[in-house]
Amino acid sequence: MAKRKRIGMEVALAAAEAVGMCNVDVAAVYPITPQSHIAEHLSELVADGKTDTEYVTVESEHTSMSVCIGASATGARAYTATCAQGLMLMHELLPIASAMRCPIVMSVANRPVNAPLNILSDHSDIMPQRDSGWIVIFSENGQEVVDLTLMAYRIAEDKDVMLPVIICIDGFILTHMVEPMEFPDQKEIDKFLPDYKPYATLHPDKPLTMGAFAMPDFFPQMMKAKDMALLNSKKTIVKVWDEWERKFGRRYRPVETYRTDGAEVILVTMGSMSETAELGVDELRDKGVSVGLVKIRLWRPFPSDELKAAVKGARILAVMDRAVSPGTGGGPVFTDVKAVFYGEDSRPIIVNYVMGLGGIDVTVGDFVKMGEKAAKAKKEEYEFYGVMG
């Protein structure tokens, strides 16, 4: 494989560069911290003719998703980006986009949801979208943001998928970091991303109706179709990721593992904290703690089989949640992970640390502390790590 030049730039700008390489037809983006740099840089690329894209400067996030759905329905490749309150405003439309099989790609610069307002980073904006029917993928660092964004349309528009995709990028922690990243050639991407061929389009040459209402004679079947579409998409996601590894040398899996061989305790993370956790695992190992790390990359469809295989043999799982699910008695990742093991003959002890809320810094030392604590766990625990009182 040819050695490519690595370019140092802000990850948000890199995300926009990646979008600019995807021959997007319509982009409708509304600014919101910390996503704004993606919106701004993309509009610069459009203004300079680096990408032939209709850039619609919408008046709200609800409209940006509406514009994407309308454009996607005509057969145009559509993109948007948002987070936090913007994502919550779009919430109404997310199940519509997935039910109507609009393969829109959206970058979400994960930021906490009000109240109180907080512009930094956590996962509370993506968690309420769990049932939206979208494919949700988490990125850990700048290179992953570039790669996953470049692969997003290939996954979304695959005829066995035809579903919208969210690429999660931790706000500020990732979006505003300057990192060295490798970009494939435009020609390679043009070959990698075929043209968007929808199942159906809005055009007078073949009139059809999209978004009809349904009564109980059809509705339940339509819901099953939604669920099956998302569940079945995993095969294609893995296939595309394998293809990327063959072409560009970087490997992506639904669940990534780090030093899990023979590990008694396994930490489970999602997003940028995974990189910090790796260093924590190294330190813990040096201290003699039998610990490993599992990083969930594919959040929806949830990779139950891959998760079970990755943590096989571990006695304790410590699930890190970067969001609260009030009233549940556990964070969202914790409850999903617990559910995976319910039917198993041998189940690990699963403990939950809710941490990193509101953009609070999560350090290597924090992971060492959590790992040591988890190693001593005798039963299920749910606690807020580092919260005073």
Partner 1 sequence: MSIVENFDLYAPRLIDKGEYFSVGHTACAGCGEALATRLVLKGLGKDTIVSNATGCLEIISSRYPTTAWEIPWIHVAFENAAAVAAGVEAGLKALRRKGRIPDRDVKSVSMAGDGGTADIGLQALSGAMERGHDMIHVCFDNEAYMNTGIQRSSQTPFGAWSTTSPPGEVSFGQRTWKKNIPEIMVAHNIAYVATANPSYPLDLIRKVEKARKLKGPSYIHCLSVCPTGWRMDSSLTIKVGRLALETGIFPLYEVENGKYRITVDMPEPLRPVEDYLKLQGRFRHLTPDKIEEIQARVNLA
Partner 2 sequence: MAGATWREIFPGNVVLTPGSTKEYHTGGWRSLRPVYDNSKCIKCGICYVYCPEGCVSQDEDGYFMANLDYCKGCGICAHECWPSAIEMVKEG
Q: Does residue 380 belong to the site contacting partner 1 (CB under 8 A)? A: no
Q: What's 272-318 look like in SS3? A: CHHHHHHHHHHHHHHCCCCEEEEEECEEECCCHHHHHHHCCCCCEEE
From the list partner 2, partner 1, none, which binds 74 (C-beta under 5 to 8 Å, kind-based)? partner 1
Considering only residues 208-227, where is the footprint of partner 2 by CB under 8 A?
208-212, 214, 217-218, 221-222, 224-225
**What b/e sequence results for 283-319 when a residue is b if at least 16 CB atoms lie within 10 Å of its CB, and e otherwise?**
ebeeeebbbbbbbbbbbbbbbbebbeebbeebebbbb
What does the alpha-carbon distance between residue 143 and residue 15 come to, in Å, rounded to a whole number? 9
Q: Are 85 and 32 in contact (CB under 8 A)?
A: yes
- Piece of the chain touching partner 1 by CB under 8 A; list 3-11, 58-66, 117-125, 308-316: 58-66
CB of 72 to partner 1, least distance (A): 7
From the list partner 1, partner 2, none, which binds 237 (C-beta under 5 to 8 Å, kind-based)? none
From the list partner 2, partner 1, none, which binds 82 (C-beta under 5 to 8 Å, kind-based)? none
* C-beta closer to partner 2: residue 209 or 346: 209
Figure out which of the listed residues 73, 127, 281, 333 binds partner 1, where binding follows CB under 8 A: 73
* C-beta closer to partner 2: residue 161 or 265: 161
- Piece of the chain touching partner 1 by CB under 8 A; list 64-72, 135-143, 145-153, 267-275: 64-72
In the numeric block, which tokens belong to residue 163? 């579903």
Dump the DSSP string for 100-118.
TT---EEEE---PPSSSP-
Residue 66: CB atoms within 10 Å? 18
Binding map of partner 2 across residues 4-43, x = CB under 8 A, - = no contact: ----------------------------------------
Q: Does residue 231 belong to the site contacting partner 2 (CB under 8 A)? A: no
Q: Are 360 and 331 in contact (CB under 8 A)?
A: no
Figure out which of the listed residues 63, 257, 304, 335 binds partner 1, where binding follows CB under 8 A: 63
| CA distance readout (Å), 34 to 121, 133, 136, 145, 359 | 9, 25, 19, 15, 12
- Piece of the chain touching partner 1 by CB under 8 A; list 39-47, 185-193, 201-209, 255-263: 201-209
Going by C-beta distance under 8 Å and a sequence separation of 6 or more, which residues neighbour residue 172? Answer: 34, 111, 119, 120, 121, 359
Residues near partner 1 (CB under 8 A) are 25-26, 28, 52-54, 56-60, 62-63, 66-76, 78, 92-93, 96, 100, 195, 202-215, 218
Residues near partner 2 (CB under 8 A) are 99-102, 162, 199-200, 207-212, 214, 217-218, 221-222, 224-225, 228-229
